[in-house]
Amino acid sequence: MTIALTTPVTGSAQTGFTSPTYTVVADTPPNAYSKQYAVTALGGTQALVDVHGASKPFTITFARPQVIRPAPLANPVTGVMPNAPRNVYSVVVRKGMTPGVGQNPQVAVLRCDLSVVSGADLVEPEDIRAALSLLIGGLTQQSAGLGDTLVNGLL
């Protein structure tokens, strides 16, 4: 299965939000190796949150490497494989927000880079899935706490 975000996206718990949802539509991605969606409507209680607009974007982009790098070949004499290159995938959320009353909006960028050892997709795909499962589970479990940390600076 490939990336195909369905709408609405159910948001994760955040302090002050009740059952947040995000209606998304396909948007023009930055390149041919990405898929992008824009938030056009909100659900639940999320007071004062803006949907996507030209001056205040609210998008999520999924990207893959332009070229998938294969695992390196082992040394024919020693049988030792050099350090494998990485294939970096990313998920990026861009959200316009105003830094102060009467100020022009600026764009916050929340990025999750997924740097996968090339070749592991063939040899140990279950380890890739386990790492991703833990990442998403940890982020989901700590969503409100991470949101609080981004607001108050306390970890």
Question: pLDDT tens-digit profile of 62-86?
Answer: 999 999 999 889 899 998 988 889 9
Compute the distance between CA of residue 90 and CA of residue 64 in angstroms, rounded to an integer: 7
When divided into structural domains, the chain yields a total of 1
Q: Could you list the residue range(s) of the whole structural domain that residue 60 is in?
A: 9-68+84-150
Q: Is residue 120 part of a domain?
A: yes
Is the whole model's pTM more than 0.85, yes or no?
yes
Q: Is residue 77 part of a domain?
A: no
Give the mean pLDDT of 105-109.
96
Q: Is residue 30 part of a domain?
A: yes
Given a cut of 60, whether residue 1 has pLDDT beyond it is no
* CATH number (domain holding residue 115): 2.40.160
Q: In what order do the strands lie in the sheet with 58-63?
A: 9-10, 18-27, 34-45, 58-63, 86-97, 106-117
Compute the distance between CA of residue 152 and CA of residue 53 in angstroms, rounded to an integer: 27
Alpha helices in the chain (DSSP H): 120-123, 125-141, 143-152
Q: Is residue 38 part of a domain?
A: yes
Given a cut of 70, whether residue 52 has pLDDT beyond it is yes
Contact 98, 105 (CB under 8 A): yes
Mean pLDDT of the chain: 94
